């Protein structure tokens, strides 16, 4: 059995959805489970809907209306007959979305976020499933929330593997073509949860692990995993093979082609992961599997923007000791803040933080009560895996470097933007 994942860009308009069918025609579509993300930039649009709702702004209706228009335009292009059931299904989902907001009593941002943002994947998967059914790719649509069970850490939920495995094995027909959503799951009380932004890759990994799949393919608008993000760097090169551990390292440092959590479940069962272009489905792309770290071997560049560099020292200039450090880390953890780099000296401790969920403000007060805190927001963290002197020199040129760190395989610097 195989698992495919089609991300937002691969279903962003009617032509893209038609292309999904083309890919399936090329690869075959039996014994296949397909995970889809929300269409195009829908998740961002839904995030704006959450903001508008919570701030009681008067553009809420328009924002929902625009998102509905966007999807209606796609289905009008995909389906000839206005009476096709897909129209009613999408209409109903938008009605549900409004009802969810109208009836909501919670003030918990993360909870509301998941209840709303999950509609992107529900809508997208219905459209793709209906289109494939219509064009001869008969499939079964499954609600991932009935399969992927998680804790209730909304926006960053942890998978309950045992329960999830049981449900997936029970519900997925391994012989046929199954279509489901990435990114979403549900908690013990059946409230919708999400696995973190860009979490659809991870969903593909979860399904593959639970089904003992032969491979996972992630279909992208790039030819595979490149040695740098082509939006930021010139002259990027395709990596034809990356080992699991190298892929985990690259994802950890911020290579956005693969979601960091995706690889571990695959590595455990040695399931290969292919990253391929949905525009050229017969070309090889990148395979992530057991073996050499990188082929071809070359420096890989990663940049993470919008980071915060924080330096802490004790108020009385005493040493920063294990006790302080463990306390600092529990605070980061409590506030869902990811630490991307650590450097410490006797009296100060610096960390580069990724504040994906905007919790830094809340944390700052607590840190200031105990430490002398200095920080820079809007810094970028650059990483070179398998660096060379040349690579470092050219990267450092004309940059305002705040901090540098070199280990055996990895060079990192924090830079003012
Ligand atoms: N739609 C979600 C996002 O944009 C999940 C994903 O695309 O993987 O973050
Ligand atoms: Mg996406």
Q: Which residues, listed in sequence order, are joined to residue 194 by a DSSP beta bridge?
A: 184
Beta strands in 123-281 (DSSP E): 140-141, 177-181, 184-186, 192-194, 215-220, 241-242, 273-277
pLDDT in tens, 292-307: 999 999 999 999 999 9
Phi, psi of 338 (to 5 degrees): -90, 140
Q: pLDDT digit string (tens) for 90-100?
A: 999 999 999 99
- 113 C-beta closer than 6 A to ligand 1: no
Please state, in angstroms and rounded to a whole number, the distance separating the CA atoms of residues 111 and 115.
6
pLDDT over 80 at 357, yes or no: no
Query: Is the distance from the beta carbon of residue 38 to the nearest atom of ligand 1 less than 6 Å?
Result: yes
Partners of residue 288 on adjacent β-strands = 242, 273
Instruction: Give the mutation target among 4, 34, 39, 182 for probing the ligand 1 site: most ligand atoms within 8 A of CB.
Output: 182
The pair of structure tokens assigned to 249 is 């390292």
Say if CB 311 and CB 342 are below 8 A apart: no
The confidence band for 223, taking pLDDT boundaries of 50, 70 and 90, is very high
**Inter-residue contact 361 to 340 (CB < 8 Å):** no
Looking up tokens 């924080």 gives 310
Residues with CB under 5 A from ligand 2 (ion): 7-8, 37
Nearby residues of 401 by Cβ (< 8 Å), 6 or more positions away = 413, 414, 415
State how beta strands 2-6 and 215-220 pair: parallel
DSSP 156-201: SPPB-HHHHHHHHHHH--SSSEEEEESSEEE-TT--EEE--TTTHH
What is the CA(393)–ligand 1 centre distance, in A?
35
For residues 95 and 113, what is the distance between their CA atoms, to the nearest angstrom?
17
Q: What is the pTM of this model?
A: 0.88
Give the list of residues 6+ apart from residue 62 with CB closer than 8 angstroms, or none. none
Our answer on whether the CB atom of 183 is closer than 6 Å to any ligand 1 atom is yes
pLDDT of residue 252: 84
Query: For the residues of 268-330, what is the DSSP string, one character each?
Result: HTT--EEEEESSSTTS--EEE-SS-SEES---EEEEEEEEEEEEEEETTS----HHHHHHHHH
State the DSSP H helix or E strand holding residue 122, giving kind and residue range, or none if neither: helix 119-134
Report d(CA 321, CA 44) in Å as an integer.
41
**Cα 258 to Cα 291: distance, rounded to the nearest angstrom:** 18
Structure confidence at residue 33 as a pLDDT band (50, 70, 90): very high
Is the Cβ–Cβ distance between 145 and 186 less than 8 Å?
yes
Q: Is 343 helix (H, G, I), strand (E, B) or coil?
A: strand
Alpha-helix residue ranges (DSSP H) falling in 254-379: 263-268, 322-334, 360-370
Residue nearest atom 6 in ligand 1 by C-alpha distance: 198
198 lines ligand 1 (CB under 6 A): yes
pLDDT of residue 344: 87
For 294, the token pair is: 């990188």
pLDDT, average across residues 361-389 = 94
What pLDDT, on the 0 to 100 scale, is given for residue 151?
A: 98
């Amino acid at each position: 059995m195989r698992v495919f994942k089609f991300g937002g860009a691969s279903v962003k308009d009617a032509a893209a959805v038609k292309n999904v069918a083309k890919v399936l025609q090329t690869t075959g579509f039996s014994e296949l489970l397909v995970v889809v993300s929300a269409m195009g930039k829908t998740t961002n649009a839904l995030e704006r809907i959450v903001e508008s709702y919570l701030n009681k702004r008067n553009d809420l209706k328009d924002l929902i209306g625009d998102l509905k228009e966007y999807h209606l335009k796609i289905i009008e292009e995909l389906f000839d007959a206005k009476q096709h059931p897909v129209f009613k299904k999408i209409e109903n989902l938008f009605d549900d979305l409004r009802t969810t907001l109208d009836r909501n009593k919670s003030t918990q941002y993360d909870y509301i976020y998941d209840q709303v943002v999950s509609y992107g994947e529900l809508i997208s998967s219905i459209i793709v499933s209906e289109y494939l059914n219509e064009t001869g790719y008969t499939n079964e649509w499954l609600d991932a929330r009935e399969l992927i069970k998680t804790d209730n850490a909304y926006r960053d939920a942890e998978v309950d593997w045992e329960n999830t495995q049981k449900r997936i094995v029970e519900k997925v027909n391994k012989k046929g073509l199954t279509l489901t959503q990435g990114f979403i799951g549900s908690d013990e009380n059946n409230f919708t949860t999400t696995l973190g932004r860009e979490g659809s890759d991870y969903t593909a990994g979860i399904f593959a692990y639970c089904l003992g799949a032969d491979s996972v393919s992630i279909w992208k608008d790039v030819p595979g995993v490149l040695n740098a993000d082509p939006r930021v760097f010139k002259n990027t090169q395709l990596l034809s093979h990356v080992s699991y551990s190298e892929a985990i390292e690259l994802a950890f440092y911020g290579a956005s082609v693969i979601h960091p959590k995706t690889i571990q479940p695959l590595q455990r069962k040695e399931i290969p992961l292919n990253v391929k272009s949905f525009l050229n489905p017969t070309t090889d792309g990148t395979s992530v599997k057991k073996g050499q770290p990188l082929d071809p071997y070359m420096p890989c560049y990663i940049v993470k923007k919008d980071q915060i560099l924080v330096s802490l020292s004790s108020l009385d200039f005493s040493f920063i000791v294990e006790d302080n450090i463990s306390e600092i880390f529990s605070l980061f953890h409590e506030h869902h803040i990811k630490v991307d780099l650590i450097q410490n000296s006797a009296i100060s401790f610096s960390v580069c933080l990724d504040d994906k969920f905007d919790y830094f403000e809340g944390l700052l007060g607590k840190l200031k009560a105990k430490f002398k805190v200095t920080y820079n927001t809007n810094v970028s963290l650059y990483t070179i895996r398998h660096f060379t002197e040349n690579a470092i020199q050219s990267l450092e040129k004309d940059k305002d470097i705040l901090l540098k760190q070199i280990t055996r395989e990895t060079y990192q610097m924090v830079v003012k933007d």
